[in-house]
Structure 1
């Protein structure tokens, strides 16, 4: 079961992990980021856009709005710097949501409509956890593609991001 403290920790981890990942991706040329690497969303750039699409869909639902239209493979930003700025803004949005969430909200059922128009009712704590898990899953794919591109990808281990200083 998720708690507000766990949500805040996951939001912080995701923000910091995204910053590390984008910093590594910035070392590549635009052509290298957009090269087809035979991944589900084809390229590093496509996968970073997909993570953004997923976050915007979930956050719109959580905030009481409707999910943005477009496919899960939509390229929201062709320009990497614009995508990076949007990522920072989306992470701030997620941080704010996590800072305000309460245990009664997390414990409640939450109704949402899928992109296929199907209505679901799930425990909110599972959906919030899924949003964070979705990011982790696809960051792992980008991590692998960075290796394929010849870079040494950054560590994305949660405990090393949240607690970077070794014990004395």
Structure 2
């Protein structure tokens, strides 16, 4: 049976969901974006920066870039449009990586750098972890958007033909 690569779909869904979420975040001014909110990271800006920098960390590992933990040595981006653009670029890197996957690539091990030292992880374990990480923290951003008085956007109308969001169609080619 031929390998069917599900990861490009997950990566494009991820890009779509982030684009929609950043569209909603665009309704906030800088003060509202950085204002204290409930959640792990205490503000929408901190939550969205966390998503972005964890993406950078795992993309670097997947691409074997060698940056490791230094991807976290950055100032947070506190302007919605600028962070949205950076996230979109990271999302397309992830989609590009996923588009090239074959069955053998999923068992390949790459180095992840941890505070305790280097650790090998299978590509096939990193991919679902990264997707789940995104979903988890976008859920927190939904709560934070509600707290800010913004209606959280629908993010799950992507895969099925039934009720697929019009914008999602652009990611299906």
Provide TM-score, normalisation by structure 1.
0.86
- 1:26 maps to 2:5: no
1:60–1:68 CA contact under 8 A, matched in 2: no
- 1:135 maps to 2:134: yes
Tell me the SS of whatever aligns to 1:5.
coil
In 1: Cα distance, 2:29 partner to 2:37 partner: 14
Closer, same or farther: CA 164–22 of 1 in aligned 2, 3 Å: farther
- 1:163 maps to 2:160: yes
Q: How does 1:4-23 map to 2 (within 5 A)?
A: 5-23=5-23
In 2: Cα distance, 1:10 partner to 1:64 partner: 21
Closer, same or farther: CA 4–51 of 1 in aligned 2, 3 Å: farther
Q: Give deviations 1:109-167, integer Å, cap 9, x for gaps.
A: 333222x042223322111111111111111100110111111101122xx12336439
Q: Which residue pairs with 1:49 in the alignment? A: 49
1:13–1:161 CA contact under 8 A, matched in 2: yes
Deviation at 1:75, TM superposition (A): 4.2
Q: Which runs of 5+ in 2 are unaligned?
A: 165-173
Q: Which residue pairs with 2:111 in the alignment? A: 111
Q: Which residue pairs with 1:96 in the alignment? A: 96
Q: Which runs of 5+ in 1 are unaligned?
A: none
2:55–2:130 CA contact under 8 A, matched in 1: yes
**C-alpha RMSD of the superposition:** 2.1
- 1:63 maps to 2:63: yes
Matched pairs, number: 161
Deviation at 1:9, TM superposition (A): 0.8
In 1: Cα distance, 2:161 partner to 2:80 partner: 27
* Runs of 4+ deviating beyond 6 Å: none
